[in-house]
Amino acid sequence: MRCDDGCGACCGVVPAGYDEYNAIIEYALAHGIKPIAQGVTCPFYQEGKCTVYPVRPTMCHVFGHVKEMPCVKGYNVNVDPKIVRKAVEESGKDSAVLLHEALVDFGIVKSTSEVLGDLTSLLEAAMAAQRALNR
């Protein structure tokens, strides 16, 4: 799938399985990466790129490859939904955490609501999408 340098349009509120989240935190610590509070933009999208790309969550892997998660620039390369479902199942996502939690874990903010505000409907939609992929 084509991606434009510095775009980041898909780098918003990202749910990740706990194992994925822990791998991201370990990677960030090992590479001196600190998350940045920047509203709904993923705290690991910095200076026009994903700073945790090698360990990005499954949700990021499948973005732009299923019609329910289209690239805003129309660059989708859709794959068979069975492949996506299998990838999600193999990632072990029986529950999820938002990558914005890293801001709390790194002591940058006291709670994600400090950064995200009242985005209840958006967060519920993201978590519903995650659950739908798990089925």
pLDDT in tens, 56-89: 998 898 888 888 888 999 998 988 888 877 777 7
Burial class (CB within 10 angstroms; exposed 0-12, middle 13-18, buried 19+) of 24: buried
8-state DSSP, 105: H
Q: What residues in the chain have per-residue pLDDT under 50?
A: none
**Does residue 10 belong to any structural domain of this protein?**
no
**Does residue 2 belong to any structural domain of this protein?**
no
Predicted confidence at residue 11, as pLDDT, reads: 94
Domain that holds residue 41: 15-128
Dump strand ranges (E) for 60-124. Answer: 96-98
Place of tokens 């933009």: 41
Helices (H) and strands (E) in the chain, counts: 6, 4
| pTM for this predicted structure | 0.80
What is d(CA 36, CA 53) in angstroms, rounded to the nearest whole number? 16
Number of domains in the chain: 1
**Does residue 133 belong to any structural domain of this protein?**
no
